[in-house]
Amino acid sequence: MLIRHQSDLRPSEITSRQSYLSRRQWMAGAGAAFLTAVTAGGGAKASALGTIAKTAYTIDEKQTSLEDVTHYNNFYEYGTDKEQPAKLAPGLLKPRPWTVRISGECKTTASVDVDDLIRTSTLEERVYRHRCVEAWSMVIPWVGVPLAPLLQRFEPTSKAKFVAFETLSDVAQMPGERSSLIYPWPYREGLRIDEAMHPLAFLAVGLYGEALPAQNGAPIRLVVPWKYGFKSIKSIVAIRFVEQVPPTLWNALAPEEYGFYSNVNPTVDHPRWSQAKERRIGEFLRRPTLMFNGYGEQVAGLYAGMDLKKFF
Ligand code: MTE
């Protein structure tokens, strides 16, 4: 993310969509996308992971191909190139057995086995937009469980103001973690507790009806669709309820570039590139980026009264 962003831009993408659509048409287009943001689903389907329920938290947009979802990845533990995670992670990462340690400011502490979680949960499919801070995006059918009910099981105390997440720390399984001179491994992320408890916050254990591929963060990763993709931490081994803002990898490296909140916001540019538009992987023309990645109706209330330019 700190590198290679310029080479991601193709000359064909520089012609803006607004330059041939009038402002009014563009606004109408954005509005239509917003209205279809959440559609009611229904029914269930069988899969390798068991029965998967369809939920209301699904968008009706063309899904990015499985090939792109699984071969154009950011997973710096396997290198900084988009193709490296698919080449390296499946041979190195051992996603079973796997437990997630849940601790901190809560009444009960536990290690949750991922297979137990899958067996004892109603898995849901959620088709979400996925918008990287590098200005590319995808639409991905995730399979998993909402985060809030899992967190509530451990009865966070009134001191639990934030939730901290941590990726596996193991250079044998994640060779990129050797270069600790640049990156303060392990990968860490965090949310405010009310963000973590929002119904859209999701723990994915699969995509396209199958178990999560190693390169997408097997066996369990966070998905926070209204925030830039780097908040959606992969291969989680620890979740902690904490009182203070937890340190996070990208924010620690470059706080002026990667804020703690990192809500998708087309009006707040990255210091080195615009966030007004994005390249939907598989599409030719760039499209306008939507406030909160199109989930404003659901999440804007979390930030009422906050200056989103200051708390970016
Ligand atoms: N989690 C870990 N542990 N390591 C990473 O490098 N990259 C983040 C996020 N989670 C990353 C991570 C970034 S920048 C993005 S955009 C998404 O994962 C990419 O998820 P995907 O490869 O499934 O599209």
pLDDT tens string 275-289: 999 999 999 999 999
**Quick check: 204 and 144 in contact, CB under 8 A?**
yes
Supply the pLDDT for residue 39: 34
Q: Which atom of ligand 1 is nearest to the CA of 215?
A: 22
Residues 41-64, mean pLDDT to the nearest whole number: 85
Contacts of 154 (CB under 8 A, 6+ apart): 102, 106, 107, 108, 109, 110, 241
| DSSP for the chain, written as a single string | --SSTGGG--GGGTS-GGGTS-HHHHHHHHHHHHHTSSB----EEEETTEEEEE-S-B--SPPPPHHHHHHS---GGG-SSTTHHHHHHHHH---SS-EEEEEESBS--EEEEHHHHHHHS-EEEEEEEEE-TTSEEEEEEEEEEEHHHHHHHT-B-TT--EEEEEE---TTT-GGGG-TTTS-SSPEEEEEHHHHTSTT-EEEEEETTEEPPGGGTTT-EEE-TTB-GGGS--SEEEEEEESSPPP-HHHHH-TTTS-SS-B--TTS-BTTB--SEEEETT-SS-EEPPGGGGTHHHHGGGGTT--TTT--
Report whether pLDDT(248) > 60. Answer: yes
Residues 42-64, mean pLDDT to the nearest whole number: 87
pLDDT tens string 198-242: 999 999 999 999 999 999 999 999 999 999 999 999 999 999 999
Question: Three-state SS string across 174-188, please?
Answer: CHHHHCCCCCCCCCE
Residues 186-193, mean pLDDT to the nearest whole number: 98
Percent of the chain exceeding pLDDT 70 equals 87
Q: How far is residue 67's CA from residue 216's CA, in Å, rounded to a whole number?
A: 12
Q: How confident is the model at residue 181 (pLDDT cuts 50, 70, 90)?
A: confident
User: CB under 6 Å to ligand 1: residues?
Assistant: 1, 73-77, 130, 132, 167, 187, 216, 229-230, 232-235
Supply the pLDDT for residue 42: 55
Report whether pLDDT(166) > 80. Answer: yes
Q: How far is residue 230's CA from residue 131's CA, in Å, rounded to a whole number?
A: 9
Supply the pLDDT for residue 45: 83
Q: How confident is the model at residue 2 (pLDDT cuts 50, 70, 90)?
A: low
Mean pLDDT estimate for the chain: 88
pLDDT tens string 90-146: 999 999 999 999 999 999 999 999 999 999 999 999 999 999 999 999 999 999 999
Residues 75-80, mean pLDDT to the nearest whole number: 96
Q: To test the ligand 1 pocket, which listed residue (234, 250, 280) has its Cβ within 8 A of the most ligand atoms?
A: 234
Q: How far is residue 171's CA from residue 86's CA, in Å, rounded to a whole number?
A: 17
Report whether pLDDT(28) > 50. Answer: no
Q: To test the ligand 1 pocket, which listed residue (74, 223, 236) has its Cβ within 8 A of the most ligand atoms?
A: 74
Q: What is the value of pTM for the model shown?
A: 0.88
